[in-house]
């Protein structure tokens, strides 16, 4: 029998969200990477597309704007209408996924602080 592998799901990082999908929003994930649910995202100012949050960037993606709720296979093309966690929710910190630009605990702590400023509490 073949083993099945399940990737990250919302249950891995969402502890609580406001009723009526109030915590959610949608956005376009920029091409270049495949993203799993729980990915911490920044927004490129020029295009408005979401990519991995990168604290060293200077294109707008150095600011945390959301956490991806659904998978986004964006390696080859943009993914429109990706579901995001944008406001008033509690997240499981250990379930968050950071991009390759995040290499230190201080950077992860910075991302969590930026999430909290948006109303996304990561504990």
All structural domains of the chain with their residue ranges: 10-122
pLDDT in tens, 57-106: 999 999 999 999 999 999 999 999 999 999 999 999 999 999 999 999 99
Distance CA 66, CA 87 (A): 8
Distance CA 39, CA 79 (A): 14
pLDDT range class, residue 5, cuts 50, 70, 90: confident
The residue among 118 and 6 whose pLDDT is bigger is: 118
CB-count burial class (<10 Å; 0-12, 13-18, 19+) for 111: buried
Question: How is the chain split among helix, strand and coil, in percent rounded to 5?
Answer: 20, 35, 45
pLDDT at residue 6, rounded to an integer = 81
pLDDT in tens, 8-40: 999 999 999 999 899 999 999 999 999 999 999
Distance CA 57, CA 52 (A): 10
pLDDT range class, residue 117, cuts 50, 70, 90: very high
pLDDT at residue 2, rounded to an integer = 86
User: What is the CATH topology of the domain spanning 10-122?
Assistant: Virus Head Decoration Protein; Chain: A, (2.40.300)
pLDDT at residue 106, rounded to an integer = 98
């Amino acid at each position: 029998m073949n083993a099945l592998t399940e990737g990250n799901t919302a249950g891995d990082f969402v502890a609580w969200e406001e009723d009526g999908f109030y915590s959610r929003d949608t956005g376009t994930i920029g091409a270049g990477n495949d993203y799993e649910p729980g990915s911490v995202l920044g927004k490129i100012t020029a295009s408005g597309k979401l990519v991995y949050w990168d604290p060293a960037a200077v294109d707008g993606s150095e600011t945390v704007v959301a956490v991806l709720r659904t998978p986004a296979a964006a390696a080859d093309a943009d993914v429109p209408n990706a579901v995001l966690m944008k406001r008033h929710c509690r997240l499981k910190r250990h379930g968050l996924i950071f991009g390759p630009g995040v290499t230190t605990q201080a950077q992860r702590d910075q991302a969590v602080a930026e999430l909290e400023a948006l109303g996304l509490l990561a504990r």
